Amino acid sequence: MRFSMDFSAWPEEKLAGQRLMAGFEGKRLDRDLQGLIADLRVGGLILFKRNVESPQQLADLCRSAQDWARECGLPPLFVAIDQEGGQVARLGPPFTQFPGNPAMRDVPHAARFARITAAELAAVGINMNLAPVLDAVPRGSDSIMAQRAFGADAQWVARLGAAVIAELQTRGVMAVAKHFPGIGRTRLDSHIDLPFLDADLGSLQDYDLIPFRAAIQQQVAAVMLSHTLYRQLDPQWPASLSKSIARDLLRKRMGFKGVVLTDDLEMGAITRHYGLNAAIRQLLRADIDVALICRSAEKLRQAHALMVRKIGQSEERRSRAEAAAGRIMALKALYLT
């Protein structure tokens, strides 16, 4: 399937929907999931343990969702999952179980993890892995990422991360580098509340950003932004909503041209300090392409309605929405044709 890159005829509803990655409750293509795809025109789905009972069931779910999107006249769906290994692995046995990033011994070991994981994901219709974690954790730190990071040496993290990206993407599974610009020096869990980091740009460049530069050089498909407040870069908005970080740092300064995702907008860092409506308005201003809403169908509908209204308010907002659609569709054309 080939895609037109002329988005001038796309209605606001479609421009908005392609920017949503939706979580859902079921294990089958039921009426609720059909509605998310047909009514909201979502661009992607994210899977959790609650959606999985067996490889065959998972393959049926992914295939039927893609078939339904096609019947609705929509582009193929991103179908994403967190399959890092170790502490964060949504797929249990019989899928191969890996001990996680801290246990990676060398580049061949990391490449083997990615090679096997890519084959198993692709076999059931999952086309995007929300990995690798590129957060570097200083030695002796009680970082929230201590059990999920490759290690303390940013160059080591960069080498292993680049190997994972290359192996996943060579086998048709999009990699997502996270959590930009790095949360290895934070201790508070953004699922619960809003972490912050008092580090200037020079400090980030000398440490935290090293793995992300390597990921960009490796042509990583997408980058996920963190729900952390980097006070010296943007004192108001976390990275996941920050124009200074998403547009100015990641896109302009570092040259990333791919798709940019938020972390889950239902996490405590956002719900306790900003709220969904403010988050949606801000991510549109910041040229962030995809919003993750991982559970609530009501919040997905709320976000979609607000996006539609905002996109239709001016030619400038419409132009930004078309640019985001262009990045999303370019990635889908590369991997999902």
Query: Is 2 within a domain?
Result: no
Query: Is 1 within a domain?
Result: no
The number of domains in the chain is 1
Q: Note the pLDDT tens digit of each residue in 104-115.
A: 999 999 999 999
Mean model confidence pLDDT for the chain: 97
Cα separation values, 122 from 81, 117, 146, Å: 12, 8, 29
Query: Is 4 within a domain?
Result: no
Catalytic member of 30, 32, 109, 191: 191
Active site residue 263: yes
Query: Is 59 within a domain?
Result: yes
Query: Is 5 within a domain?
Result: no
Question: pTM for this structure?
Answer: 0.97
Does residue 6 carry a pLDDT above 90? no
Q: Place 224 in a pLDDT band, splitting at 50, 70 and 90.
A: very high
- Of all residues in the chain, the percent with pLDDT exceeding 90 is 97
Query: Is 267 within a domain?
Result: yes
Query: Is 315 within a domain?
Result: yes
Does residue 134 carry a pLDDT above 60? yes
User: For 278, how many CA atoms within 13 A lie in the half-sphere containing its CB?
Assistant: 11
| Domain region containing 270 | 12-335
Query: Is 294 within a domain?
Result: yes
CATH of the domain at 279: 3.20.20.300
Active site residue 287: no
Catalytic member of 82, 263, 264, 289: 263
